[in-house]
Structures are given as structure tokens and as C-alpha cells.
Amino acid sequence: MTRKQKKTLIRIIISAVLFASALALKLTGVLNEWICAALFVVSYLTVGYDILIKAVKGIVKGQLVDENFLMAVASAGAMALRDFAEAAAVMLFYQIGELFQSVAVGKSRRSIAALIDIRPDVANLVTGDGVTEVDPAEVEIGSSILVNPGERIPLDGVITDGSTTIDTCAVTGESVPRDGAPGDEVYSGCVNLTGAIRVRTTKGFGESTASRILELVEESGMRKSRSEALITRFARIYTPVVCILALLLASFPPIFLKLTGGDPALGTYLKRALTFLVISCPCALVISVPLTFFGGVGCASRNGILIKGSNFFEALAETKYFVFDKTGTLTEGRFRVTETEPFGGFDPADVLSLAARAEFGTRHPVGIGIREAAGVPKDDPSVSDLTEKPGFGVTATVDGMRVSVGNPKLMKAEGIEVPERGRAGETNVWVSVDGALAARIALADAVKDRAAEAIGKLRSSGVEKTYMLTGDRRETAEKVAADAGIDRVKSDLLPSDKLEEFERIKETNGSKGKYAYVGDGINDAPVLALADVGIAMGAMGTDAAIEAADVVLMDDDVMKLPLALRIARRTLAISKENIAIALLVKLVCLVLGALGFAGMWLAIFADVGVMVLAVLNSTRSMRIKG
């Protein structure tokens, strides 16, 4: 509890004791009625003096209708009716409710904040004089920092020393730890698990991954969803309307009764009208929606999904058409060896190993794919005379043999004609040893393991059509689409064509349902921006993608897509529940109050109760599971 809350609590306790003793004295009839009344008034003033002051200030400033004013009028009205106990009770319960609200909101605010708090507090700066603990914000780019096992990595950088395992869960939601060795990039917010590492920082604190993620999450509530805007607008008219109704309730029935010759029962109707005033505070309505969305944002970000605004929950929940980029989104973006066909009596494993060793220095994705398949060490002393010819391939001397690895053009340069071979979706690499054809190695950019499952899940949750846009040849594209279960393919696109193609997809399907585009955010930023929901994948460490997208998946796990959709829908459902609960309870209380079944006490309980209920219900959105 904050100091302010504690102060309120003390006032409430004092007031409650006074109230209870006054009530006891009154019921037992020990003291004179007026002394009891005075006690009630003291209790009332103790707990409510600030409300009264604020109400007066509001009137002076011309701000008539606010909670303070309403409470002041309601309790003053009760006193005018000589019901001092009621006046004190109303004020007492109102303050208890306010305190409850402020504690509950503060608590859920803190628990959500804790959920997403991945910002590190200290960095171990390595200088000439040793290691000093400093504020990460003070560490300059290019400094060397030490990260011990169990510590959170404070700043983005590159490992210079030591190897370890890194838990990226807080950033990506991925539970399998990654290995880190010198040369690997590390991101702030991740936890260093096994070994001490030294990191050369590449970014300042404000630009580091952890800060950027937190910033996005904190700002997400500022883009308001439709339902949020709607409820705010509703709240704005709700209070005046209820006040007018209260006025009508206090005037019409007595006039009517008077005209029909009965007892006008002024006191009864005034009291009912005052009950209306108590119910007219719109706080439960106003809090229920943003709190739910904030919980949803927190839940998503813990799963490595950053949703940049409450409005995207709605857009995501209504998405009927998913358009995918191919490379790196549906496929792994890495080449893997799918087949090795030997010629001239070579053993497939041997020739693959030879090719891999010849490729040991290359950064070409195909070369990397061959190296990974053969599992050769990074450094090999038996390899010499290495030449890489861009657009052709590599040639090197391995174990005294002349090995060339490359495309048919390279083979032709060696005087070798390659046979017609190959399947759709594959890239062929040819290997020659001492001038004779030795093997064909086929590689493919494999479809992600769970791509088909993810797309199946999207479809079963109501997505109508899926598209894939790619610059690849048709056969390759169609193979990938078939493997992933994509409905339509647009192939042979230049990066600049993607935008046009996306527009065309929108035109053919009409404006019912929203369109999401899923890409890596590097060369498709315009499409990401145009889509109703632009989703960037594998975005950890790429600022451009985080900037351009509406929803950011920190790692490249496709299963996060159906999860994001689920979180969006659940969050939306919970927020609707909250609106319904709050409206319903208020309505019931208004009706009961008008008919005289509910007094001010009940009205206060209803008001506070529904508010607490809404707060509790909205925290459910923090715990949505996949």
C-alpha cells in the first residue's frame, strides 16, 4: 500500500469505529438521539472531508458532475432527511470501495508489470581497473561487460569471451535455451544460464532489446481499441443521464401522487433518487476494458508476442485472410541437404564431407547448409588453396585432392557436362574431384516443422484463406505451399510486386474480415504497414521489423500465430464479459433502486463489487494459455 492508501485506511478505521459505536448507542437507546447523530456526523466527516472539499472545489471551478459532487449530494441529501447513519455509511462504504479499487488496480498493475519486467538493473562494466557494477544506462556502446551465470544480460552485444547457454524465454517465449559462443549476438532481457561471458555492447540501454520491448508494451494501451473508445464515450453520457433520471425520480412521482390526491412521499423518492446518484459513477465500466487489454498485452509478451495496441486485438480476432511471405516465415530460411547422389563410385558421406571441407570458409547459405549436413569442424588444416568465385562456387585442395563445389557453370569451366536432374523446390550443387564429376548435392529451404500444423490451427479457428507471396520459381513455391497447407500461391514476384499483389488479394475478397500479412519485416515493410495487421516474425534484434509491424513475434516459431489469434480472441471475450457484467449490475441496481428495493448501502456495494469483479476478471487475460 502506498502512503496515501495507508492514510485513507486509518481514516476508514477511525470512522468505522465511531460509526459502530454510534449505531450501538442508538440501538440500545443509552444516549440521546442528537448525541448519536453528532457521532455519526463526526464519523462522516472523518472519512469524507476530502470528498466534500473536492466537491466544493469542483463547483467553484464549474466541474459539476464528478464522483465527489455526487457523493456529497447523496450524503447531504440523506442528512437532510435526518438519516445521519445512512449518510455516514454511504461515505464510509464509498471510501472503502475507492481504497479497494486503488489497491486492486495497483496490484494488478504491478503483477502485469512484473510479468513483463525484463529490464536489468545493473551491468558489470569491465575496465582496466577491474569490474564495477554500474547502471546499464551509463554503459557506452563498445564497452566490455561481464555477465555471470544466472544474471540477466543488460545490453545487446556480441560475446567476446566465454561460452554459455542462454535462456531467451523472457524475450522470445521460446523455452529451449540457445548456445552462445564468441561471435554470437546476445540480446538484453535474456538470462545467461551456465557460464560467465564477456560481451562487447553494440547498443545503448535505450535502444537495447529489453528497453524496446518494454516501451512497446507500455505504449500499447495508448492505441485504443474500438470497444475501449466506445465505453469511454458511453461513460461520458452515462453519468449525466443517470443524474437526470435521479432528478426525474425525485420530482415526477411525488407530483403525480400529489395530483392524484395521495401522499406525495417526498422523502421516499428523494432517497431513491439519491441511490441513483451513488450508482452513477462509471469507474467500473471505464476500468474493465483497458485493464483486460493490458493483461492480454502482458500475456502475449510473455509468450514472445508483442502486440502494439489494443486495437490490434480486435483486428487480429477478426482476421479472415492470412498472407504469408515464404522465406524465413513458412520456411526456415536455411538450406538443408535433402539428397546426395554420388558419381564415379564415391561414397555419399565421403563426398559430402569433402564438399563441406572445401566450403569451410564460405558464408553462402548453400555452403553453410552443406557444412551443417556433414558436421565438419570450422577449422580444418588439411584444406588449402581455397578460392571462392561468386556466382560459380568454390575450389580448394582437400587431402591433396582438387575439389570444386558449385553450379553447372563452374563444372563447365572444368570441362564437365552435368546431367539433367532435380526436383521442384530444390537447388542442385555439383561436386567434382580432380576434374571428374563426383556428386550432386540437392538442397532445399525446408518448410518449418510445424508450419502445416500452425496453418491448420489457424483454419480451424476460422481463418478463411491463406496466401503465400514469394519471389521464387513457381515449382518451388507450389511445393512449399503444398507442404505448409497454403491455399493460394503468388510466385515470381519482385519485392516491389508484393504490395500490389496484396492489394489485389484484398480486392478479390472484399472488405469483410481483416487481412494479416506475415513477413520477416526486412524487405516487406510497405506490405506490413498496409495490412490490417502486419505481423513480423523472427524479429529479435531487427529494429526495422519491430518498427514496421503491428504484431511482432520475437522468434520465428509459426505456432505463435495461432497462439496470438487465441490470445486476441480470449482477451476480447473477457473485455466483453466485463462490459456486460458492469452494465448489467448497474442496470439491475438502478431498477431496484427506483422501485425502492435497494438502498444506498446496496448501491455502494454494487458499485464497488462490480468494479472489483471487473478487475479480477480482467486479470484472467494475463493467464491465457495456448
54 binds another protein (CB under 8 A): yes
Shortest distance (Å) from residue 15 CB to another protein: 19
Nearest residue (CB) to another protein, 133 versus 219: 219
* Segment interacting with another protein, rule: CB under 8 A, options 171-179, 284-292, 528-536, 543-551: 284-292
* Segment interacting with another protein, rule: CB under 8 A, options 15-23, 197-205, 280-288, 432-440: 280-288
286 binds another protein (CB under 8 A): yes
Among 282, 296, 369, 521, binds another protein (CB under 8 A): 282
Give me the residue label for grid cell 557506452: 140
* Segment interacting with another protein, rule: CB under 8 A, options 140-148, 229-237, 457-465, 601-609: 229-237
Shortest distance (Å) from residue 95 CB to another protein: 12
Dihedral sign for Cα 99, 102, 104, 110, please.
negative
Residue type, 124: N
For residues 257 and 246, what is the distance between their CA atoms, to the nearest angstrom?
Answer: 17
319 binds another protein (CB under 8 A): no
Nearest residue (CB) to another protein, 69 versus 335: 69
226 binds another protein (CB under 8 A): no
283 binds another protein (CB under 8 A): yes
Nearest to 447 by CA among 353, 556, 602, 350: 556
Among 21, 32, 63, 508, binds another protein (CB under 8 A): 63
* Segment interacting with another protein, rule: CB under 8 A, options 213-221, 242-250, 299-307, 548-556: 213-221
609 binds another protein (CB under 8 A): no
The residues with which 335 forms a beta bridge, in sequence order, are 445
Shortest distance (Å) from residue 18 CB to another protein: 25
Give yes or no for a contact between 170 and 118, defined as CB atoms under 8 angstroms apart: yes
273 binds another protein (CB under 8 A): no
| Footprint of another protein on 289-318 (CB under 8 A) | 290-291, 294
488 binds another protein (CB under 8 A): no
61 binds another protein (CB under 8 A): yes
Shortest distance (Å) from residue 296 CB to another protein: 11
Nearest to 52 by CA among 91, 10, 97, 2: 91
Burial pattern 171-181, b for ≥16 Cβ within 10 A else e, equals: bbbbeebbebe
For residues 340 and 580, what is the distance between their CA atoms, to the nearest angstrom?
Answer: 63
Residue 485 CA: distances (Å) to CA of 49, 330, 466: 67, 10, 9
Among 6, 57, 409, 412, binds another protein (CB under 8 A): 57
Nearest to 455 by CA among 547, 562, 611: 562
Instruction: Examine the residue annotation and report whether 550 is marked as an active-site residue of this protein.
Output: no
546 binds another protein (CB under 8 A): no
- The half-sphere exposure of 313 on its side-chain side, counting CA atoms within 13 A, is 33
Nearest to 414 by CA among 403, 427, 429: 403
- Cα angle: 73, vertex 76, 79; to 5 degrees: 150
Other residues' Cβ atoms within 10 Å of the Cβ of residue 360? 20
Shortest distance (Å) from residue 70 CB to another protein: 11
Catalytic residue among 83, 156, 167, 325: 325
Among 145, 287, 315, 518, binds another protein (CB under 8 A): 287
219 binds another protein (CB under 8 A): yes
Size of the site for another protein (CB under 8 A): 30
379 CB-near residues (< 8 Å, 6+ apart): 360
Question: x-or-dash pattern for another protein, window 95-134, by CB under 8 A?
Answer: ---x--xx--x---x--xx---------------------
Other residues' Cβ atoms within 10 Å of the Cβ of residue 133? 10
For residues 355 and 398, what is the distance between their CA atoms, to the nearest angstrom?
Answer: 9
For residues 506 and 318, what is the distance between their CA atoms, to the nearest angstrom?
Answer: 15
518 binds another protein (CB under 8 A): no
Nearest to 303 by CA among 415, 185, 169: 169
224 binds another protein (CB under 8 A): yes
For residues 561 and 535, what is the distance between their CA atoms, to the nearest angstrom?
Answer: 9
Question: x-or-dash pattern for another protein, window 232-251, by CB under 8 A?
Answer: x--xx---------------
Active site residue ranges: 325
Residues in contact with another protein by CB under 8 A are: 54, 57, 61, 63, 66-67, 98, 101-102, 105, 109, 112-113, 218-219, 221-224, 232, 235-236, 281-283, 286-287, 290-291, 294
